[in-house]
Amino acid sequence: REDSWFKSLFVRKVDPRKDAHSHLLAKKEDNNLYKIQFHNVKPECLEAYNKLCEDVLTNIHTDKAYPCELVGTWNTWYGEQDQAVHLWRYRGGYPALTEVMSKLKNNKEFLEYRSERGKMLLSRRNQLLLEFSFWNEPVPRDGPNIYELRSYQLRPGTMIEWGNYWARAIGYRQHNREAVGGFFSQIGDLYMVHHLWAYKDLQSREDTRNAAWQHEGWDEVVYYTVPLIQHMESRIMIPLKNSPLK
């Protein structure tokens, strides 16, 4: 079907696609699956919770029998507070995830940790994510940094369009090594995008973001991606001691 000038007047345009967006937008070659966890902790327990997580998460991370790694672990500083955010990578996709799960069920240390942790929590929420092919894979980095997690609730059906624009936009946002990772949800809330950024501090975040507007093309990307968003949220997060992203 040919697009006429008339049809082009409508902002809400969804092109018919021929494949699942998970297939079109994700890194195919490495078959990584990510899990993001949001734990809302009882305010009086946050310190004890962090201490409890430190050892257990690191042990799972370093144990070669588990095909998963801790990408980063944080406390929310601005946004929803008294919250811990953990990002895990499963090398080998769904089978790796299932393997870890079934091994953890028999891991006594983990089960004890879980029941201890249960007493400190208000609620938990998680999502399974794939990474955008045009973002770099997150690798450990030295600190100190602050991290910003920008979460976008897109209008259903607009993921491909989002991907097309950001594949170009990401070029404008690498100058200060700020881009850490870009993900979209597969299970949990759908049509969610998470962009993870690292900055030296809040001032450097401000300067870096302002600098993007000096690049020709950035304004255009913002102009075209903003109408795709239903809701967006930004969290400033502080890495925990054991986080590989510091």
Partner 1 sequence: MMATARPLQLLNTQQHFLNNVLAAWLARGFANKSDEGWLSSMFAHKVDARKDAHSNLLSKKETSNLYKIQFHNVKPEYMEEYNKLSDEVQKELHHDTDYPCEVVGSWNTWYGEQDQAVHLWRYSGGYPALTECLRKLNLNTAYLAFRKERSKMLLSRRNQLLLEFSFWNEPVPRSGSNIYELRSYQLLPGTMIEWGNHWARAIKYRQENNEAVGGFFTQIGDLYVVHHLWAYKDLQSREETRKAAWEKEGWDVSVHYTMPLIQKMESRIMIPMVHSPLQ
Name the site residues for partner 1 (rule: CB under 8 A).
4, 6-7, 12, 14, 16-20, 23, 93-95, 97-98, 115, 117-119, 121-128, 153, 156-157, 186-191, 230
Q: Considering the complex, state which of residue 4 and residue 106 has its C-beta at the smaller distance from partner 1.
A: 4
Handedness of CA 196, 43, 113, 118 (dihedral sign): negative
**Smallest gap, in angstroms, from Cβ of residue 16 to partner 1?**
4
**Smallest gap, in angstroms, from Cβ of residue 179 to partner 1?**
26
In the chain, the amino acid numbered 95 is P
Q: Can you tell me the distance from the alpha carbon of 217 to that of 211, in angstroms, rounded to the nearest whole number?
A: 12
Q: Considering the complex, state which of residue 6 and residue 144 has its C-beta at the smaller distance from partner 1.
A: 6
Q: Considering the complex, state which of residue 6 and residue 203 has its C-beta at the smaller distance from partner 1.
A: 6
**Smallest gap, in angstroms, from Cβ of residue 98 to partner 1?**
6
Q: Considering the complex, state which of residue 190 and residue 232 has its C-beta at the smaller distance from partner 1.
A: 190
Burial of 155 from C-beta contacts in 10 A (0-12 / 13-18 / 19+):
middle
Q: Can you tell me the distance from the alpha carbon of 124 to that of 12, in angstroms, rounded to the nearest whole number?
A: 34
**Smallest gap, in angstroms, from Cβ of residue 52 to partner 1?**
13
**Smallest gap, in angstroms, from Cβ of residue 18 to partner 1?**
6
Q: Considering the complex, state which of residue 14 and residue 226 has its C-beta at the smaller distance from partner 1.
A: 14
Q: In Å, what is the CA distance from 11 to each residue of 2, 6, 156?
A: 17, 11, 14
Q: Can you tell me the distance from the alpha carbon of 102 to that of 124, in angstroms, rounded to the nearest whole number?
A: 20
Q: Can you tell me the distance from the alpha carbon of 205 to that of 201, in angstroms, rounded to the nearest whole number?
A: 6
